[in-house]
Amino acid sequence: LNIKVDIMIKILVLGSNGMVGTSILNSFSNENKFKIIPSTRKDTNLFIFSETEKLINETKPDILINAAAKVGGIVANNEQRTQFLIENLRINTNILESCIPFKNIKIINLGSSCIYPLNAENPISEDEFMNGKLEPTNSPYAMAKLTAIELGNAMKEQYGHKVINLMPTNLYGPNDNFSEHDSHVIPGLMFRMEIAKNNNIDSFNIWGSGKPLREFLHVDDLSNAIKFIINNEIEDSILNVGSGDEVSIKSIAENIKQVIQYKGVLSFDTSKPDGNPRKLLNSSKMLNYGWKSEIQLFEGLESTYKWFQENIKIN
């Protein structure tokens, strides 16, 4: 008598209440073959090795998704350089060291496109890893992410672990950090423009010329990419995850203006720095596997703004 037993795959999601973590939980909510184990700082302090080790030992996941990080926009990265380096190093090294005894755990580590060199040729391929000088404003954060990749690679060579490092492009979506000073470009513009609209301010100031080109990916597209990687048992060491669509900062601001229905004039302060003129990932590896992003930018901005209106209070 052959009895087929379906064993559920246990997935531990670290940082499960952040933007990426929340999206991952939603993405897997209707999947019967997976048992999702969410973890936040309320149950485990990832800065403390013993707590991190206890979590891994007790849950013994088949797959670990590391979506835990200290994140912020360009201002926060530049002003809190020490904290961004120390805190992200602690999180990543504690998680990976805790996994050393369990080489059967498949680790999906979330990095950032900022790990690539400042002068990397666009579109930026995975081959640019460790190939040049970092962008100065967020180099501490990038260095912590680079260390996690190097440690994962070391564990792979020394112990046989499976570690996949995903490098998403600029993410946005529900549960993002919406604030005036510490946000990335889309939530920051959305937050400040909503204030301008509510106060009938007829001019909205934006740093720089608006000409730099950026690539944006809705967080739900990243979650679908993670699910795709798991379902297709993809094991590349580093994989870029991007939409492939470039848009200028000016165009992003105009789209947000349309979504918010702000009636004022957009003013670009050319005395302020533009930053990197272009930053586009080469995501051909993921595309060749059969994954592609599905959420168009304007559609994503609309759903993000809806969440923002329902969840963020502006004083």
Residues designated catalytic: 141
Angle, alpha carbons 23-63-14 (nearest 5°) = 45
Query: How far is residue 243's CA from residue 186's CA, in Å, rounded to a whole number?
Result: 16
Query: How far is residue 181's CA from residue 140's CA, in Å, rounded to a whole number?
Result: 19
Among the listed residues 67, 234, 221, 241, the one whose alpha carbon sits nearest the alpha carbon of residue 168: 241
Query: How far is residue 108's CA from residue 115's CA, in Å, rounded to a whole number?
Result: 16
- Report CA-CA distances (Å) from 207 to 89, 248, 249, 250, 275: 31, 13, 10, 10, 10
| Bridge partner residues of 110 (DSSP) | 166
Please check whether residue 111 is in contact with residue 242, taking contact to mean a CB–CB distance below 8 angstroms: no
DSSP summary character for residue 216? E
Query: How far is residue 268's CA from residue 249's CA, in Å, rounded to a whole number?
Result: 10
Give the DSSP H/E element, type plus range, for residue 171: strand 170-172
